């Protein structure tokens, strides 16, 4: 896994070299092993390499066809061995053993549609000198990021926004509509980012830049059309098919010229991933996990049990609220967007442990909940629909208390309050976003902290309407369970899970995550399953559990689902966090930034520091306000995590403009 960057412009070679060197330097954490540049004509490509396949060659940017094609590539093509053989049968000759060279030959043979042949996780740019065009692409599920902007006549792209921002022609401004989206959906809607005029290429999209015009298109999407067959024989066949697909997905994801480890969280998904690896690889597997000092969040008992069951060599990092507070500014720097939870911080510390253990690659269980029906939000929606069909029942509303047994405040509320909180009303049933209304409503309460200026700027803007305008035409025809799955898979998964909790915190420590459950063949298979095979009554991931019987410890297979959570507001009350929290959330700093109201922010902070009872809304508000303020401090004002450009560099561009 690597970092990529590039500029297409008519600026002089010297100026583009200065800019590109700085961009690549900014991405050094993504690829500390080697750096490379190629500048010719109007194209300038840069690369920072984390060498995993073909360590001795495979340097980038890489050329093909006497320099008529050049690529800077971030990712892995897991089926590159099979694709290479196919290309050799067609007469292609290779000079390296890398998957990067396979990508170039695929483009040469099939043109831009070749991405549909690849099984992997990628973002890349190919400069086609013959056609004078730049071809960009991002993998189906959005595992790897790709950002771009235009500044004057220059087109600038990179794996991370911070690399784009070092270009002196690029402005640094917060996108308030994107902030409104984050404070509703937890992430911005593509192609928005937290920064105005800086865009992300959406997952499963490709683009061509030619003559200054960018054409973008979608090349893949899941299909939720299914036929009901819940007979025992059909369920058995489906379980066998799922196992076969997952085994092959794990097999090709073990391809590497460096050791491969795995995350072992104590839950079903990571246990299945570990089981797959131990079936495929004869050597002793190294596994890694996070444990928490807070017993309500800790899963170390199941982690140890799983490690013993699989016979892995296991390492754990123990994480306290103070540890989270201490590293949170670094986490925001790498996430490049506000967040409403501290959950990425422990995973940042975990990837640091992985790297310190001399591992560059880990397999993890992300994606299983989204595609196989594991999230509480799916169960919640089923219960809410059941109640809404008979709202006068005395007994149905009691089911709401069973949804979140680990959340004390919910258990204390009356059924009438819970019905209002969970939007249980017959009139809500027609809402295409029924499954997500409670979550979005709760999250949107944080917008009460927005300043009057921000509210004024957002007057007339409706993020829900923007979300709806981007839905597939067939969305309204899908089963309600599938609608909920799509919202999680198409938005929360790439926008938050695979970004803030995945690529960004792993690559901060030069660690690559690989996800067998997100093999596109597994995703397509799961999308065609009957919802009853994903959640049977209220039994989540029914088919996966059926498949995993005997593969994982029985205690993990039968344990109640415990979502991954970390200490939130408590992380910023004591320890090293106190100093920077007081600084960035001071009345003066909040007033100067102009995003939030100083008075309510101070009252919220005092509530946490006084030890008075707080709730989930308070936690989200504090983490959201703090992460936004840190982002402004680091990227807009550049007063905390400086990433400034030398004077001569800026002056050189100013002179040439």
As a residue count, the chain comes to 657
Please give the Cα distance from 37 to 354 (Å, whole number): 29
Alpha helix locations (H) across 124-263? 161-165, 176-185, 232-253
Containing 292, the helix (H) or strand (E) segment is: strand 286-292
Q: Output phi, psi for 617, to 5 deg.
A: -60, -40
- Tokens encoding 30: 């993504």
Q: Smallest Cα–Cα separation from 166: which of 583, 558, 643?
A: 643
Active site residue 2: yes
Question: Pick from 623, 631, 625: which is nearest to 596 by CA?
Answer: 625
CA of residue 331 relative to chain centroid, distance: 14
Residue in 2, 319, 463, 482 annotated catalytic: 2
DSSP H helices, 488-553, are 504-507, 520-527, 531-534, 542-548
Distance CA 417, CA 358 (A): 51
Torsion sign (Cα): 307, 496, 326, 620: negative
In the numeric block, the tokens 């570990």 are attached to: 274
For residue 107, give both structure tokens.
């483009």
CA separation, residue 248 to residues 7, 117, 245, 517, 520 (Å): 38, 16, 5, 11, 12
Task: Confirm if 266 and 291 have CB atoms less than 8 A apart.
Answer: no
What radius of gyration, in Å, describes the C-alpha atoms of the chain?
Answer: 25
What six digits make up the tokens of 4?
């990529």
Q: Give every CB contact of residue 439 below 8 A, 6+ residues apart in sequence.
A: 377
Q: Is the dihedral of CA 401, 404, 405, 409 positive or negative?
A: negative
CA gap 51, 6 in Å, rounded = 20
Alpha-helical segments (H) within 528-571: 531-534, 542-548, 554-558
Q: Could you tell me which of 111, 54, 104, 58 has the C-alpha nearest to residue 83? A: 104
Residues marked as catalytic: 2
């Amino acid at each position: 896994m690597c970092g990529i960057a590039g500029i297409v412009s008519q600026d002089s070679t010297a100026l583009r070299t200065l800019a590109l060197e700085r961009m690549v330097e900014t991405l050094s954490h993504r690829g500390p092993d080697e750096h490379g540049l190629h500048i010719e004509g109007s194209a300038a490509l840069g690369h920072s390499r984390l060498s995993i396949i073909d360590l001795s060659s495979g340097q980038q940017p890489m050329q093909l066809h006497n320099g008529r094609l050049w690529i800077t590539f971030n990712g892995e093509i897991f089926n590159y061995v099979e694709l290479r053989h196919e290309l050799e049968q067609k007469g292609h000759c290779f000079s390296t053993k890398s998957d990067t060279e396979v990508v170039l030959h695929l483009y040469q043979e099939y043109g831009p549609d070749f991405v549909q042949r690849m099984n992997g996780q990628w973002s890349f740019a190919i400069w086609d000198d013959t056609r004078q065009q730049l071809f960009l692409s991002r993998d189906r599920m959005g595992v790897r990021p790709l950002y771009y902007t235009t500044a004057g006549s220059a087109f600038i792209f990179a794996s991370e926004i911070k690399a784009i921002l070092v270009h002196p022609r690029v402005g640094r401004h917060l996108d308030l509509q994107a902030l409104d989206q984050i404070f509703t959906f937890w992430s911005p809607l593509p192609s928005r980012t937290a920064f105005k005029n800086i865009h992300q290429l959406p997952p499963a999209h490709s683009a061509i830049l030619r003559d200054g015009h960018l054409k973008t298109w979608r090349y893949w999407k899941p299909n939720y059309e299914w036929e009901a067959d819940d007979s025992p024989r059909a369920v058995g066949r489906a379980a066998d098919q799922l196992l076969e697909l997952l085994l092959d997905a794990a097999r090709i994801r073990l391809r590497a010229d460096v050791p491969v480890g795995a995350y072992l969280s104590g839950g079903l998904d990571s246990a299945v991933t570990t089981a797959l690896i131990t079936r495929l690889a004869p050597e002793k597997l190294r596994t890694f996990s996070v444990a928490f000092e807070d017993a309500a969040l800790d899963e170390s008992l199941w982690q140890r049990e799983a490690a013993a069951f699989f016979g892995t060599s296991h390492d754990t990092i123990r994480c306290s609220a103070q540890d989270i507070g201490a590293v949170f500014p670094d986490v925001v720097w790498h996430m490049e967007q506000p967040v409403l939870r501290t959950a990425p911080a422990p995973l940042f510390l975990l990837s640091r442990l992985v790297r310190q253990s001399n591992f560059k690659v880990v397999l993890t269980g992300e994606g299983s909940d989204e595609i196989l029906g594991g999230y509480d939000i799916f169960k919640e929606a089923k219960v809410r629909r059941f109640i809404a069909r008979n709202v006068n029942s005395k007994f149905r509303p009691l089911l709401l208390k069973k949804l979140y047994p680990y959340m004390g405040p919910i258990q204390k509320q009356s059924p009438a309050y819970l019905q209002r909180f969970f939007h249980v009303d017959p009139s809500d049933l027609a809402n295409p976003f029924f499954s997500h209304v409670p979550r979005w409503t709760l999250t949107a309460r944080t917008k009460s902290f927005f300043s009057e200026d921000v509210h004024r700027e957002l007057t007339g803007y409706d993020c829900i309407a923007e979300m709806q305008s981007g839905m597939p035409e067939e969305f309204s025809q899908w089963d309600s369970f599938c609608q909920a799955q799509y919202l999680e898979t198409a938005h929360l998964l790439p926008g938050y899970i695979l970004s803030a909790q995945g690529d960004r915190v792993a690559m901060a420590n030069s660690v690559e995550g690989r996800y067998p459950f997100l093999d596109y063949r597994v995703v397509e298979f799961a999308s065609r399953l009957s919802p009853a095979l994903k959640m049977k009554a209220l039994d989540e991931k029914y088919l996966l559990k059926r498949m995993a019987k005997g593969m994982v410890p029985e205690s993990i297979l039968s344990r109640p689902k415990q979502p991954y959570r970390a200490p939130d507001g408590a992380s910023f009350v004591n320890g090293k966090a106190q100093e920077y929290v007081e600084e960035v959330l001071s009345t003066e700093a909040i007033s100067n930034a102009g995003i939030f109201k100083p008075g309510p922010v101070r009252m919220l902070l005092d509530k946490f520091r006084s030890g008075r009872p707080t709730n989930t809304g308070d936690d989200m508000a504090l983490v959201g306000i703090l992460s936004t303020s840190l982002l402004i401090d680091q990227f807009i004002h550049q007063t905390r995590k400086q990433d400034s450009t030398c004077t001569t560099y800026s002056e050189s561009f100013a002179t040439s403009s």
